[in-house]
Structure 1
Amino acid sequence: MRRIFLAATIAVPVQASAHPHHYVDQQVHLSIGVNAVELAIVIVPSSQDGAAIFSTIDNNGDGVVSDDEGRIFATNVVSATRLTIDGQAFTFILADVGIPDETTVASGTAAITVNASAELRLADRQAHSVDFSITYEEFSHDWFVQPFLYPNLLGKIAQLEIDRSDRAGKVVVRFSNR
Structure 2
Amino acid sequence: MRAALGAAAAVAFVSAASAHPHAHVDQQALLSLGRTKAVLTFAITPSTKDGAHMFSHLDANGNGLLEASEKAAFAESLLAQTYLTADGARIKLRVTYMQFPGRRAMAAGTGAIRISSEAPVSLPASSRHRLDLMVAHSGFAEGWTLQAFYYRDLLSGRSVPSVSRNPKIGSLGISVPSG
For normalisation by structure 1, the TM-score amounts to 0.90
Q: What is aligned with 2:116?
A: 115
Q: Which has the higher contact order (CA 8 A, sep 6+)?
A: 1
Matched, 1:156 2:157: yes
Instruction: Assess if the C-alpha contact under 8 Å between 2:154 and 2:160 holds in 1.
Output: no
Shift of 1:168: 5.2
Q: How does 1:75-114 map to 2 (within 5 A)?
A: 75-114=76-115
Distance 1:115 1:98 in 2: 9
Instruction: Assess if the C-alpha contact under 8 Å between 2:28 and 2:42 holds in 1.
Output: yes
- Work out the number of aligned pairs and report it: 170
Amino acid at match of 2:173: V
Q: How does 1:120-135 map to 2 (within 5 A)?
A: 120-135=121-136
Distance 2:173 2:132 in 1: 4
Q: Which runs of 5+ in 1 are unaligned?
A: 1-8
Q: How does 1:1-178 map to 2 (within 5 A)?
A: 11-12=6-7, 13-15=10-12, 16-17=15-16, 18=18, 19-156=20-157, 158-167=159-168, 169-178=170-179
Amino acid at match of 1:155: S
- Structure that is richer in strand per residue: 1
Q: Percent identity?
A: 30
52-61 or 164-173, which moves further after superposition?
A: 164-173
Amino acid at match of 2:156: G
- Structure that is richer in helix per residue: 2
Q: CA RMSD of the aligned region, Å?
A: 1.5
Distance 1:29 1:68 in 2: 24
Map Cα deviations across residues 141-170 of structure 1 (whole Å, 9 max, x no partner).
111100110112222361432111022531
Q: Which runs of 5+ in 2 are unaligned?
A: none
Distance 1:30 1:159 in 2: 16
Distance 2:30 2:169 in 1: 14
Distance 2:117 2:160 in 1: 27
Distance 1:85 1:156 in 2: 19
Map Cα deviations across residues 92-146 of structure 1 (whole Å, 9 max, x no partner).
1111211011100110001101111111121113111111111000000111100
